[in-house]
Structure formats: structure tokens, C-alpha cells
Amino acid sequence: MSTETADATEFSTDRSSGWHLDTDNGTMTPRSALDVLTDLNEQVTSGHLAEYQPVPLGFTPMDKTIGTGLRAGELLLIGGAQGTGKTTMALQMARNIASGGQANVLYICFEHDEPYLLSRLIAMESALAHLPHKTGAIRIQDVRKEILGTWMAEGTTAPQLA
């Protein structure tokens, strides 16, 4: 048996893959439900549960709806009309997951640039009691002043903020 065939055969027994590679015919076919369930049962009974544990999004109604959170390999796509809070909700979920330390987050947004998203994240984190918020909202200018003041107090060189 050649090395190439051995590597392909090794791939065909990869249980994390949902596909079976037939090296004789050079085809890939989906594994049967029985094969997937058998492998799942083996992993659960041997105590390998980490990849099946959901990561909560921090929004209780949504977490309940999708089974207490997202699991490894799952993708959450948020759709809706413009101005309905999709970006705010998605950023908050990403922030909740990342701050919980349970998983890494990849956030892809085709509508807003990085400075806009960063300003939204800063605003979410900036609920500081001593900042002026007569209207109940914290302005980005107040956050900017707070950041610059902190850097100056520490003697750190502050970057130029537009």
C-alpha cells in the first residue's frame, strides 16, 4: 500500500468528518446516520463532551430557542430590515461569548467598517457612573475624553483619534 493510499484511507476513517472517502473509486459520499450516531455515542460514553457543550449568547430567549447556545462548528446568521438592531445584537452576542472566555468569536459584517463597530463596542462597555448621561445615553465624545484622560494619567502616549 502506498503512502498516498494510506493517507486517503486514514481520511476515510476520520470520524469528525461527515464524509467517507472511497479510495478505490475516488469518490466521497456522506456517512450514514447510523455511522454518525455510532460515533457520537462512542464520544459521549468516553467522556468527550466539550465539543457538544453549547456556548450561551447572553440573550436568554434566543439561547432557549436554539438549545441554550451555539455549539462548535455552528454558524448564526442574523437577517432583518435595516435599522432593526441586528448589528447591536450581534456585537453584544460576540462580546458576551468573548468576555465569557468559552470560545473565540469571528465577527463578519459587510455593512459597517471597523471604526464604527469599535465605537459601538466601546459604547457597550462604557457604562461608567461618572460620565455625563443626562439623556440616559453615553456619547462617544465622552468615551473618547475618558480614554484620553486615562492614557494621560498613566503617562501613555495616546494615538491620534479623529
DSSP letters of 79-138? ---TTSSHHHHHHHHHHHHHHHTSS------SSS-HHHHHHHHHHHH---TTS--TTS--
| Lookup result for grid cell 459587510 | 110
Q: What residue spans define the domains of the chain? A: 3-52, 54-125, 129-162
End-to-end Cα spacing for the chain: 64
What confidence score (pLDDT) does residue 156 get?
66
What confidence score (pLDDT) does residue 28 get?
85
Q: Is 43 helix (H, G, I), strand (E, B) or coil?
A: helix
Confirm if 11 and 21 have CB atoms less than 8 A apart.
yes
Provide the whole-model pTM. 0.54
Note the pLDDT tens digit of each residue in 29-62: 888 889 889 988 998 899 888 778 899 998 888 8
125: confidence class by pLDDT, cuts 50, 70, 90:
confident
137: confidence class by pLDDT, cuts 50, 70, 90:
low
Mean pLDDT estimate for the chain = 77
